[in-house]
Amino acid sequence: MSEHDVVVELRRQLGDRVDTAAAALRAARADKSGHVSAGPPLAVVHAESVADVQATLRIAHRTGTPVVTRGAGTGLAGGANAGPGEIVLSVARMDRILEIRPDDLLAVVEPGILNAALNAVLAEHGVWWAPDPASRAISTVGGNIATGAGGLLCAKYGVVRDAVLGVDLVLADGRLLRLGHRSVKGVTGLDLTSLVIGSEGILGVIVGATLKLRPRVPGTTRTLTAVFPDVRSAAVAAAAVTASGLQPAIMELMDALSLAAVHRLLGLPTPPPDAAQLTIQADGVAADAEAEAIAGLLSTLGGQVALAADEAEGERLWAVRRAMHPAMESLGTTLIEDVSVPRSRLPEMFDEIARIESAYGIRIPTVCHVGDGNLHPNFVFDAPAGADADEVVVPAHIWAAADDLFRAALRLGGTLTGEHGIGILKRRWLADELGDDQWELQRQIARVFDPAGILNPGKVFAD
């Protein structure tokens, strides 16, 4: 069947939910990473039900047409980008909350609901879903699950993998599987739910999720900042907080380059040269005592501490951290990366970043979810003259520096990605972390789910 005939068949079964407008096809070529596919896809199917997803996949399976599942398109690894000859299966319109059970601490939702929208509704029931990507206002629950997302609260409340009881998955041939359970415990058979979490669309299309909720945290929050003379001493101090047994809800680190860029953007006083900043939030009924204990510890380690008097002042302190991404855009074009190392190795990882900056003559402003060891180095460069403003064309020397940084993280016992996923941008390094045997085994598992290889081809695994 020709590509034209595939689109005709999609329209016959799905009507106006099939979109071939130039703007829709262009938008589906890219995500927030800046990577853009080689050309526009065949069509965008705006699925509104499980039946729509099944119909699309049956057509794709019968005709051998590749399918790329897409939600909000806010990923940072190119995992939802679609190109020539591919169908885009958008689940963004599948955004309903199907069930909320505060007594069982669970909710059943469709994949297109936004994190922030979900928690706004859950708050009315005295519960919440803990995963909190910094993109919560624009990222979907389905995308969080597909990428195994993390966020700001991971150290205390866990990542997406810790907050999902089950998923409903449509396979490449249109069959619907209901994986997982609604009970607190459940060990029947292999844990396919965990296998799907973080699978980046190569095993099936997530059409529903049973989420593990938490009771609303009682009490208030207390926020503090601590400025250190350099990033290494800030990382050492953060590790000391963790080792002390104190458990803040959020602990973020900004290095000197990122802190200075944010201060310039916000019109704040220029921080001292080389200064790095920790921003920490305690929550719960013991928030006041915990924040004061953390402040005391950081002061003894050389930090200049500012402890917010109330939540309003705390929000003003957090405004600096939240301005990170706009500040990076003011520096030039950026490749936003994502590695994790054991928390005790963070000082060494920052030493490695400094070495790489010097070796390659580049700037790498870095922020870190320091409570769980997840770093986001931003490789800053000037876009080539004449480059498309919508596309990040990463120069070879930047990829060489990134390669050096990835390998440094692996040497320190870390991983290539803590929350963004592999997608297109990191597939060339995947076997370096997994080893050849595990890499091949994982490919074989993917083929059990999708023998024809039509789901998100070219992502995660590459020859």
Residues 333-342 have pLDDT tens digits of 899 999 999 9
Q: Is residue 15 scored above 80 in pLDDT? A: yes
Sign of CA dihedral 216, 143, 421, 24: negative
pLDDT for 325 equals 85
Please indicate, yes or no, if residue 399 is contained in any of the structural domains: yes
Task: State which of 58, 73, 90 marks the end of a domain.
Answer: 90
Residues 6+ apart with CB under 8 A from 375: 338, 339, 340, 341, 346, 349, 353, 366, 367, 368, 369, 409, 418
3-state SS, residue 368: strand
Please indicate, yes or no, if residue 456 is contained in any of the structural domains: no
N-to-C CA span, the chain: 27
Q: Is residue 179 scored above 60 in pLDDT? A: yes
Q: Are residues 16 and 31 in the same domain?
A: yes
Q: Is residue 463 scored above 80 in pLDDT? A: no
Q: Is residue 135 scored above 80 in pLDDT? A: no
pLDDT for 136 equals 77
Helix residue spans in 301-422 (DSSP H): 311-322, 324-329, 346-360, 396-411
Q: Are residues 305 and 383 in the same domain?
A: yes
Q: Is residue 215 scored above 80 in pLDDT? A: yes
What are the structure tokens assigned to 76, written together?
Answer: 């940072």
Residue scoring higher pLDDT (18 or 33): 18
Mean pLDDT of 398-410: 97
The residue segments making up the domain with residue 193 are 97-215
pLDDT for 35 equals 87
Task: State which of 385, 411, 437 marks the end of a domain.
Answer: 411
Q: Are residues 269 and 146 in the same domain?
A: no
Q: Are residues 239 and 379 in the same domain?
A: yes
Of the chain, the percentage scoring pLDDT greater than 90 comes to 87
pLDDT digits (tens, 9 = 90+) for 360-384: 999 999 999 999 999 999 999 987 6
pLDDT digits (tens, 9 = 90+) for 71-124: 999 898 999 999 999 999 999 999 999 999 999 999 999 999 999 999 999 999
Indicate which CATH number applies to the domain containing 38: 3.30.43.10
Please indicate, yes or no, if residue 174 is contained in any of the structural domains: yes
Q: Are residues 330 and 370 in the same domain?
A: yes
> CA 78, 68, 211: angle at the middle one, nearest 5?
85
pLDDT for 385 equals 58
Q: Are residues 367 and 230 in the same domain?
A: yes
333 alpha-carbon distance from chain centroid: 20
Q: Are residues 256 and 376 in the same domain?
A: yes
Please indicate, yes or no, if residue 447 is contained in any of the structural domains: no
Mean pLDDT of 37-66: 98
CA–CA dist 460, 423 (Å, integer): 5
| Residue 388 binned pLDDT confidence (cut-offs 50, 70, 90) | low
pLDDT for 150 equals 86
DSSP 8-state symbol, 218: P
What does pTM read for this prediction?
A: 0.93
